[in-house]
Structure 1
Amino acid sequence: MATSGFTDLHRLYLQAAISKRLMTEATAQDLYSRVCTVTEEPYDRENFSDFITQLNEGLNSVELEFRRAQDEVTGVPVIALTNTNGQKIAQVATRYSPTELEYFKHLLDAIIMADDEAFCISSTAALHEAGKLKNKENKAVALTKKDAEALLDRFVADQWFIQSTAGAYSLSMRSLLELQTFLKETYDDQIQECTLCMEIITKGQRCTVAACSSRLHQHCASAYFKNMARPVCPTCHSAWDGKILIGLSDRTAAPSTVWKRRKAKGTGINGNGAGGSADAAEEEDEEDDDN
């Protein structure tokens, strides 16, 4: 890390941020204020953005970066310390065994490829995925139901996934920010972006016209349509009612089986953008039975 411009203020803030990984911007600002007090540096709220820029300049050489976005559901500004390596899922590897990481990849693939842009997987389907795991020698290494349940709880606790009231697992803001490059490079056309903010979208609204590409976060839609008596799509200008959703509502149960959209060749869960034999077998829509 290039630390020539780093002070105790930068180092202490980074140390605290590493333990949190994902924060609301208000929390990040409060942390900055407290670190300034501890290091006896003058605190100025207006300097926070410049401070984060300085941190990112120093972190660039070790593939780390503070990224900002708005929470998909609440619209609250958040900031996360992310690993920018997009060639593999190095971001999650340090805390999990190879088998556990393979399970994470299976869940990630099922969530991204969920039919009709649901972008989630039910708890039943998630546990079923644990029975499909294989190691590098292509030998089965299935997790027990108990181990899979415990691991799902860890993924949620570590803020990689969130679990809805109805039990469905979907991507957290940490995943969307930290795995941003990986998701775009690996899934390409399967990943949707908000038409207004251009960030990845897995929860929000979409145009009523099936062929239209418009997708909007709830908070982006609220701001954009605020002064429109009759909202229209920002792309095709058709009437916009906001009733066709991306993702499922918090209380809507996800299907107990995994239905996957057609997958383009060369995408999959391997982390290098090149699909293996498992990916080729999943190029068609499929239903994974629980039998």
Structure 2
Amino acid sequence: MISPADVERLFLQAVLSRGVMSAKLAQLLWEKSIDAVNASDGALKLQYRNDKQSWDEFVTKINHSLDNFELEFRALHDEITGKEMYALVNRKGDDIAQMATDYTPIEITFFKAIVERIMLAPHESYSISSMAALREPTAAKLNITKSQAEVVLGSFVAKGWLLKSKKGRYSLSTRSLLELLPYLKSNYPDEIVECTICFDIITRGIGCFTPNCKTRMHFHCFNTFRKRHNACPSCSKDWPRESKDKQFIPIGEDAAKEGDERSRRARSDEAEESDDDEDEEEPPTQDTPPPKKSQKGKKSVKAEDRMDVDGDGDNGRPSQTQGTQRTRRSTRR
């Protein structure tokens, strides 16, 4: 029996067959789903309302139905065009294998390695060169040849998981940012940067040129903001009118510098563990002999023979350090 709930069923069926889509297409599918249900049962007379509030209410209703499956019909603005995009995504970020079932384990591991290099790219460049991408299988000790890696990279681009620019650099696509966002937030929390205006993740855009200012914006967010405001929303520094002005700090492949990929940058948690290991000192043992006292008549004392002012007065041994202070270096610039 036909019911209003069939609109949601038909809509989700259409979404599953299309993947990432624009908001305009998603709303068209909603309208077509309503028309199909009305055509099946003329007594229903369901109405399609082309306004934002009605659309938001429908999306909320869809997501409520998907809660038990840990799925979500999620929106994100395309970083290049600024268009609102939608996709049905897995909310759980515990396994990147959700990206596709037709890739082999080796290919998925390869993709994870590429994602890591992109997320850890210095200077907020969020990209990796073609040469560096082709070296990843060797670095990750994967049983895959260079020619095979080229084919797989081409597949990642063709299926919309990666973007390849005219400069030959790979970066994350809108599809990856939509569908892998839980994974990215879970594995790279310190590398995630959000747009100051829309609060979406940003991997392409501009940053304020004032030292230590945290303002970051997508190009389309900047263009909208700049029409009404003349200064940075964080530091109040006057801004140029054009986002391409050289004063701004680039975010994305334009921020990449020669030599960036000669060394690997570790995730923040890995770097901290490494620093902790380097900073830990082996405490002196109880068998350490006491320092020799300077002899009378000597004009100088060797460095190793100097008395420790914090030493134990009874036995002349240096006191044990109660706690080693550790310093942590930030992996971000």
Pair 1:244-2:243 in alignment = no
Is residue 52 of structure 2 the alignment partner of residue 44 of structure 1? no
Within-5 A mapping of 1:127-146: 127-133=134-140, 140-146=141-147
Matching residue of 1:264: 268
TM-score by length of 1: 0.80
In structure 2, the CA distance between the partners of 1:254 and 1:157, relative to structure 1 (3 Å rule), is farther
Report the counterpart of residue 270 of structure 1 in structure 2: none
User: What's 1:289 paired with?
Assistant: none
**2:234 aligns to what?**
235
Q: Report the CA distance shift for 1:255/1:202 in structure 2 as closer, same or farther (over 3 A).
A: farther
The 1:171–1:6 alpha-carbon spacing in structure 2 relative to 1, beyond 3 Å, is farther
Pick from 66, 70, 78 the counterpart of residue 63 of structure 1. 70
SS at match of 1:109: helix
C-alpha change, 1:89 and 1:6, in structure 2 (3 Å) is farther
> Contact between 1:112 and 1:119, CA under 8 Å: does it hold in 2?
yes
2:184 maps to amino acid? L
Unaligned runs of 5+ in 2: 39-45, 278-328
Contact 2:4/2:37 (8 A) holds in 1: no
Kindly provide the amino acid, as one letter, of the partner of residue 61 in structure 1: N
Distance 1:90 1:57, change over 3 A: farther
Q: Residues 209 and 28 (structure 1 numbering): CA distance in 2 closer, same or farther, change over 3 Å?
A: same
**Aligned residue number for residue 271 of structure 1:** none
Q: Could you tell me which amino acid in structure 2 is paired with residue 27 of structure 1? A: L
Aligned partner of residue 74 in structure 2, secondary structure: strand
For these two proteins, the number of residue pairs brought into alignment is: 261
TM-aligned CA distance change 1:98 to 1:80, over 3 Å: same
Which structure 1 segments of 5+ residues have no match?
A: 134-139, 268-274, 286-291
Q: How does 1:94-173 map to 2 (within 5 A)?
A: 94-133=101-140, 140-173=141-174
- The alpha carbon displacement at 1:93 in A equals 4.8
CA shift at 1:266, angstroms?
5.0
Question: In the alignment, which of 73, 86, 95 is matched to residue 79 of structure 1?
Answer: 86
Residues 114, 259 of structure 1: 8 Å contact kept = no
Paired-residue identity, % = 38
Contact 1:29 1:48 in 2 (8 A): yes
- Over the aligned positions, Cα root-mean-square deviation in angstroms equals 2.9
Q: Find the aligned partners of 2:17 and 2:262 in 1 and give their Cα distance.
A: 34
Residue 141 of structure 1 and its aligned partner are, at CA, apart by 2.7
| 1:24 alignment partner AA | S
Secondary structure class of the residue paired with 1:82:
strand
Report Cα offsets for 1:180-234 as digits up to 9, x if no partner.
Answer: 1221221111111111111110000101123111111111111111133xx3221
Query: CA separation in 2, counterparts of 1:43 and 1:198?
Result: 30
Does structure 1 retain, via aligned residues, the 8 Å contact 2:90–2:179? Answer: yes
Encode CA deviations 1:148-198: one digit per residue, 9 max, x unaligned: 112112211222111112221111111112211221221111111111111
Distance 2:273 2:93 in 1: 18
Q: Distance in 1 between matches of 2:258 and 2:15?
A: 34
AA at the equivalent of 1:239: D
